[in-house]
Structures are given as C-alpha cells and as structure tokens.
Amino acid sequence: MGTDLVPALLELEDGSIFPGSLAGPDEVIGEVVFTTAMTGYGEIATDASYAGQIVVMTFPEIGVYGIDPAALEATRPALRGLVVRSLQPEPSHATSQLGIVPFLTAAGVPILGDVDTRALTRHLRRAGTMAGRIARTARGGIPEPSCQLVREMATREGYWFAREGAGPVVAVVDFGLKADILRQLAAAGARVFVAPPDAPLDAIDAVHPQGVVLSNGPGDPSLMPEFAAKAREVADRWPTLGICLGHQLLALGYGGTTFKLPFGHRGANHPVGHGSDRPGEVTSQNHGYAVDEKSLTRTPLEVTERHLNDGTVEGLRHKERPVFSVQYHPEAGPGPWEARDTFKRFVASLGGVA
C-alpha cells in the first residue's frame, strides 16, 4: 500500500483481530459489514446507507480507477472506515480525478489495507455483522455504534433538484438518499423536489407533487416510528415509491415488522424474482434489515418480489392504492442497470412520458 502507512488492526467485538496497514485516522468504531461488489467503491463510500459502518471490500484490488466526482452519490464519504486486501493508491483511468486514499482520508475516513479480507468475510458470514474498531492496538470494550443516523445524513432544507420541464413533480423524502435516485427520476422526465425527513405534509403539498419517493437511508427501521408514520401518511395521500429504507418504513407504517439479517445483502449481484409479472433481475443491494413476510398478513400490502438466494421480501405493493416499494437499489450506481425501469414505470404512472 505504500511506505507512509503504519501497522494497525481491525478489532471485532467478539475479540477477533485482523491486522493490516493504516492510512488516515487510527480510531474509528462502526458496524463491520462486507460488500461483494467488484466495482463502485466511490459510490459505496458516498452512499448514506453505509453511515456508521466499516465496510469490507471482498474484491481484492481496490483503487485502480480512482474517484470520478460525477459518479458519486454525495460530495463526501458517509462510511466510517474501509477495509481492503490490496490498495492501489495511484489510479489509472481517464475519468479519475483523485485517488481513493486522499479522497477518504481528507474526510477523516481511515483505510485499513493488507487485511485478509477473505478470512474476515468468512468470519462475518459465520458470526454475523458486529461492532468493530480500526485502531493501532486492541483494547476491547467496543461500544455499539449508533443506528439512528437519518437526521445526520439527510438534508435539513427542501430544494429543487430538477425544476424545469413539463413532466410530473415528484417529491423525494430524503432519509439519506443516493444522488442517482434524483438523476434517474429526472432522466425519466420528472421535475424533482427533495424534502427533509421531518417535513410536514403541508410542506410537501406546497410543491404540488403528483407522486412521492421515500428514499434509502441508514439504520434500523424499527427504531424510526416517526418516519414509519410519515411513510404511511405519504402513501395514504399520494402515489408512492419506497426504496430500501423507504420500503421498510412503508411496511412498518402499515403494521408490518422488520428483522435484522445475519450479515445483510450488500453487493451488485443479488438476484430478484418478480413471479410471473416480469423477468427476474440482478440488482444492487445494501441493507442489513428485511421485512418479515408473515407480519404482512393483516396489512393492505402484498409481496411482489423476493430474493432468489434466501427468499426474503424484495418488493411490495398496496392492494388498493398506487403504492409500491423495492428493497434493492433501482438507481444501481454503478450497476447493474436492469432495475432502472422502476423509475420509468413510476413516472409514467403519474402521467409522464418515460
């Protein structure tokens, strides 16, 4: 990784130690998770859904193509730390403007390289995700990281992302959104307004939306009853699309429950089946919680899509209202792009031309 690094380690709450070489700060705590994505580390680093987490890249070589600001999901990193096997500090790509090392360390995010990420990932698959610390020495006593990060990551004031044109107005409630959600809505012909998570319905109604999107975001949805109530209020008033955390909040708002997955779904190769409605798709995913299908029995929601690996709920729709949701990321930066028609279908249902 270079000569200016120092020996350090990743310490897990169960006492496991994984040594490596450190660039950046030497004391961060977060939930340790892994992603199987082979590309997209710039998007991963700036995805607010990774807030509070130390992310392990299972693909061994990271940093080759550097950072392209045009492809990022936010202007600053959201994750707590990055763990890699082999880091290329000097990128070689036409669109790269910065290496991943200066991009992360300038924002106070450490990179721990030279780690046996295969052994670490296998450990997390057996034991489940858990709290961890990147530091120079092991000390034990790792506190649980915060799971209530939405207000930290979301906008505090409403703003227009795309205002011109004749397409339908779509209000996006920001729980920690990815910028590609806004880009894809605009590309589908929508005029896009972004509202804070605490925005009252009157503030959303003031922009006269034809539909509302409930965005992705970080944290345990069961600890967000106020946002679940907001999701229900929105869906009872406007045509609504929920994405990832927004999908989970919709389920909670209508009386369902969620549960924590052992090691989550994080990667760009997760297969989703749509039943007989549409062909299956390979999707980009990043979530540690899922909707409990059994809890939906007495709700107005029905399952439309399932994960083909473990059968967990990947899509819902309201039986009577124009409301649906997906657990995966249809904006899919950097890919795969198979699910991007989700935005086209939503905008078209509002009277737009997709």
Catalytic residue list contains 331: yes
Separation of CA 47 from chain center = 6
Tell me the longest C-alpha to C-alpha distance in the chain: 62
Q: Which of 11, 73, 305, 331 is catalytic?
A: 331
- What does the H/E/C string look like for 125-169? HHHCCEEEEEECCCCCCCCCCCCCCHHHHCCCCCEEEECCCCCCE
The single residue of 123, 244, 305, 314 carrying the catalytic annotation is 244
- Domain of residue 326, residue span: 150-349
Helix, strand, coil share (%) of the chain residues, nearest 5:
25, 30, 45
User: Would 130 be classed as within a structural domain?
Assistant: yes
Which whole-number Å values give the CA distances from 277 to 137, 294, 301, 348, in the listed order? 54, 22, 17, 18
CB 54 within 8 A of CB 85: no
348 is written with which tokens? 């078209």
Q: What is the pLDDT of residue 277?
A: 65
- Domain presence at residue 140: no
Are 236 and 323 within one domain?
Answer: yes
Angle between helices 245-253 and 225-235 (to 10 degrees): 80
Q: How many domains does the chain have?
A: 2
Same structural domain, 110 and 238: no
Cβ-based neighbour number of residue 160 at 10 Å:
12
Give me the pLDDT at residue 124, please.
98
Residue 141 placed within a domain:
no
Task: Answer yes or no: 329 catalytic.
Answer: yes
Instruction: Mark whether 162 and 131 lie in a shared domain.
Output: no
Burial of 146 by CB count in 10 Å (0-12 exposed, 13-18 middle, 19+ buried)? middle
Spell out, as residue ranges, where the chain has pLDDT lower than 50: 1-3, 354
Which token pair is 115?
Answer: 């780690």
155 and 275 together in one domain = yes
Determine which one of 265, 270, 307, 329 is catalytic.
Answer: 329
Looking at residue 333, which CATH number applies to its domain?
3.40.50.880
Whole-number Å distance between alpha carbons of 61 and 57:
9
Element (H, E) at 340: none
In the β-sheet with 323-326, what is the strand arrangement from edge to edge?
159-162, 191-195, 169-173, 211-214, 240-243, 323-326, 313-318, 301-307, 258-273, 281-291
Residue 64 belongs to domain with CATH number: 3.50.30.20
Question: How far apart (Å, rounded) are the C-alpha atoms in residues 52 and 334?
Answer: 22
pTM above 0.85, yes or no: yes
Closest CA to 246 of 230, 260, 266: 230
Q: Which residues contact 203 (CB under 8 A, 6 or more apart)?
A: 158, 195
Based on the fold, state whether residues 85 and 23 are members of the same structural domain. yes
Let me know if 147 is a catalytic residue. Answer: no
CA-wise closest residue to 153 among 44, 67, 266, 76: 76
